[in-house]
A and B are shown apart, each in its own frame.
Chain A
């Protein structure tokens, strides 16, 4: 990086670094000042509840009668409600017990309850985004590797199918592809499954399929370029040792190609994480959809959208760090 770059004085470096920090603060201040002019009230304290929330779980009686017995059972107690010839047993947390023996209860009466700390909607959304991305990346790699190799094959069947796939996928918007997966293929597949008395495939998997198939096409081109960038002499040397085409690919060409394709591959996967925000349109509650829901409830769009983008940054930056680490490790060997 430093090659060909001029060496500057310390004062020069310090001045321009300071200028960067000052201008960054300036931009933030201008944004804040603008929101003040339109009377936007920042309420950051409302944000944490969407990360961690409390939920009250209540146990209710289903019949009319009276509490017949209360017996401890570990951390819970088992409450038996006896009524007109019927009996119900409920497991209630001991701490949150609200009835005593002999109390009369009616249907819907609360026997006991407890407060539980559960992950908030933003955390759930982030998790779903992470999950969808990870699974799509996994299948995208497999699909892309296979397609990339087919693209370089001598066999016209494999080659033409891979070209068809790549051009078809790269040539249409992901949004449209998601709609096709959900409304066309999803409907077809689930209807056929229904006719054969088989269980339906959940929406989430059509979302994952659309992302994986989309990424696979790009990965295929990256893989192809990586393999073609390895000098022909490498596979010739491998073949001259008596290796077959598979062995030469597996031991000689792919390991070398992998190093070169890691940076563009990382870029592709970072795009994928961000593109998964489109899945909200088919009712998958990933981070962006979760954010929009929170905005509707909280009416604090400025804070929530900023938080949302930070969460995406967290995911993509994590992936960057991981690939940087992999790259360094591969260069050492």
Chain B
């Protein structure tokens, strides 16, 4: 499904910073992969490279066999196949909840208004927010906004969902409702790549865990292996600090 080969990314902020250094990873269809690691480890950068919100400086990223870093690739149609959920939700504040979920469908997928609204209402019902369809995002709680953002991404019928720390900006009591939606997605067999600090979610839902630090993947394996018998020293240190 997704294959990253020797991906590197350098930021100049303003000093040279090697955010990703020769990262390779493979994610197969239906798999839930959780990426964890300390702040500044490059995990969000790696995720954002997967749909080219950050343009990797070198390496190759294949999504469904298409090299998204190639010049002739139509990145817009590639992105439409990949749903993305952001830490800060990024809902469109000038549009209602319903419009947030329909706009991608009508503009990008060229669906009719009726069709898009039916689909949006079905998805909003699914995330438990059908009653808020006419509300504006600013009038919703953080947890509700993030669930709308998930519905917005799902409305495009993506083949893979990318989550960039979806619960990090939420009040603690709202984390659960968002994780519930993500778990139900995982159970349905959605391919998911999740950057998170929620170890409970990783342990319970992940098929595979990647641990990143200093722009590299230091360890990868099943949650079982990862939480019970980590091999890398850095991983052990990280886990001892957070658990």
Contacts and interface: CB of A to CB of B under 8 A. Distances in A.
B229 interface: no
Contact-residue bracket for chain B: 20 to 34
Interface string A144-186: 0000000000000000000000000000000000000000000
A234 B90 contact: yes
A15 B53 CA distance: 61
A242 B79 contact: yes
Contact of A241 (B93, B94, B104): B104
Contacts of A244: 76
Given A236-B90, A240-B82, A241-B156, A251 B103 contact: yes
Contacts of B103: 241, 251-252
Q: Do most interface residues of chain A lie in helix, strand or loop, or is the interface mixed?
A: helix
Contacts, number: 60
Contacts of B80: 241-242
Given A240-B51, A243-B76, A244-B76, A233 B88 contact: yes
Contact of B53 (A234, A239, A259): A239
Interface string A251-267: 11001100100000000
Contact of B86 (A233, A247, A251, A259): A233
A233 B104 contact: no
Nearest to A248: B107
Interface string B84-102: 1010101111100000000
Given A240-B84, A247-B108, A256 B79 contact: no
B86 A237 contact: yes
A242 B76 contact: yes
B15 interface: no
A241 B79 contact: yes
Interface in B43-91: 51, 53, 76-77, 79-84, 86, 88, 90-91
Nearest to B103: A251
B152 interface: yes
A241 B152 contact: yes
A114 to B, nearest CB: 58
B156 A242 contact: yes
A259 B94 CA distance: 10
Nearest to B78: A242
A256 B94 contact: yes
A196 interface: no
Given A240-B82, A240-B84, A252 B92 contact: yes
Nearest to A240: B84
A9 interface: no
A23 interface: no
Contacts of A233: 86, 88, 90
Interface in B141-194: 149, 152-153, 156
Given A240-B53, A241-B108, 12 more contacts: A236-B90, A237-B90, A237-B91, A239-B53, A241-B79, A242-B104, A242-B156, A243-B107, A243-B108, A244-B76, A247-B107, A252-B103
Interface of B: 51, 53, 76-77, 79-84, 86, 88, 90-94, 103-104, 107-108, 149, 152-153, 156
5 contacts: A234-B90, A240-B51, A240-B153, A242-B76, A256-B92
